[in-house]
């Protein structure tokens, strides 16, 4: 487990150390189990008889969006915690670059 420079003092607090250990070891389990469950749900809910009912279509889309949340929300934060690869900042800079490329910034 990596300790960032500002966390050296915080690692002396037992509750912070426990929180960090739980985050590092439980997050990947949540991602894997969640993605597997969502894929199974999408497969079942997208069967031909299920597609006729709007509730099942809604639940299939909900599973897809939940997978997206796991992949874009929890997974990058866990990668940053374990490997120092900050994927979120690259998303931010990419979004800023596209905003400037749109020309909208120059009009406003």
Residue 77 and residue 27: Cα distance in Å, rounded? 9
SS (H, E, C) 22-61: HHHHHHHHHHHHHHHHHHHHHHHHCCCCHHHCHHHHHHHH
Task: Please tell me the predicted confidence (pLDDT) of residue 76.
Answer: 84
Task: Please tell me the predicted confidence (pLDDT) of residue 94.
Answer: 58
Beta carbons within 10 angstroms of residue 40's beta carbon: 11
To the question of pTM greater than 0.85 for the whole model, the response is no
Residue 8 and residue 51: Cα distance in Å, rounded? 53
pLDDT (tens, 9 = 90+) of the chain, 108 residues, equals 677 788 888 888 999 899 888 888 999 999 999 999 999 999 999 888 888 898 999 999 999 999 999 988 888 888 888 887 777 666 555 555 544 445 544 454
Q: How many domains does the chain have?
A: 1
User: Which residues constitute the domain of residue 57?
Assistant: 5-107
Q: Which two tokens stand for residue 107?
A: 């009009």
Phi, psi at 83, each rounded to 5°: -120, 0
Task: Please tell me the predicted confidence (pLDDT) of residue 41.
Answer: 95
54: region left, alpha or beta (phi > 0 left; psi from -120 to 50 alpha): alpha
Task: Please tell me the predicted confidence (pLDDT) of residue 50.
Answer: 87
């Amino acid at each position: 487990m990596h300790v960032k420079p500002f966390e050296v003092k915080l690692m002396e607090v037992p509750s912070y150390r426990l929180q960090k250990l739980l985050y590092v070891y439980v997050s990947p389990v949540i991602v894997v189990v969640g993605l597997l469950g969502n894929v199974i749900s999408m497969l079942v809910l997208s069967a031909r008889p299920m597609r006729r009912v709007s509730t099942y279509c809604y639940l299939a889309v909900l599973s897809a969006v939940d997978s997206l949340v796991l992949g874009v929300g929890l997974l990058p934060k866990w990668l940053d915690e374990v490997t120092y690869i900050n994927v979120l900042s690259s998303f931010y800079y990419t979004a800023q670059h596209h905003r400037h490329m749109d020309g909208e910034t120059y009009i406003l």
